[in-house]
Amino acid sequence: MAYSGLPRRKYAQQEDSGGRKSYLYYAERRKRHLENGPTLPLYAANTNISAASVRGKWNRFCSQAGLDPDVLLENLAAADVKSWFDWIEKNFEGSLKAHSALANYWRTLKRLYFMQNRHEMKTSMQGDCLNEGST
């Protein structure tokens, strides 16, 4: 018998799950997905440890500046990022062994920004922050 591309039994998967689902079922699921927002990626354990370290540094920076960390992250401007990196370089001068550590902090800060705001940083702001290191 030649393969026709059709299933051997009609609605085989639906019979296993108890029949067709009501449109209300999918409307409810859609509503829950909208409430939950975008699905965040799953990160490796070491990535989460690194993010916790950067988040701790961010919280310390904000407490010394007298600012709320979450509010500042929501309303982040290039000047805030530049100030944070100035603070990092001043307070962790001896522990920064390589330039790649700052690159990791930058990547992780962008991740924290995304998790807080549910959208990426504007490209113009990223460029402004990256230009700071070259001056």
Q: Is residue 92 part of a domain?
A: yes
Lowest mean pLDDT among 4-13, 19-28, 107-116, 126-135: 4-13
Q: Which domain holds residue 67?
A: 47-132
Q: Name the band, by pLDDT with cuts 50, 70 and 90, for residue 41.
A: confident
Angle formed at CA 43 by CA 29 and CA 50, multiple of 5 degrees: 135
Residue 66 lies in a domain: yes
Q: Tell me the average pLDDT across 45-50.
A: 92
Under DSSP, the state recorded for 122 is P
- 123 domain-assigned: yes
pTM of the model: 0.70
- Asked if residue 23 is part of any domain, the answer here is no
- Encoding tokens for residue 39? 């699905």
Report yes or no on 36 lying in a domain: no
Burial of residue 76 (number of CB atoms within 10 Å: 0-12, 13-18, 19+): buried
**Residues 70-97: tens digit of each pLDDT:** 999 999 999 999 999 999 999 988 888 7
> What's CA 31's distance to the chain center, in Å?
22
- Is residue 126 assigned to a domain? yes
Whether 25 is in a domain gets the answer no
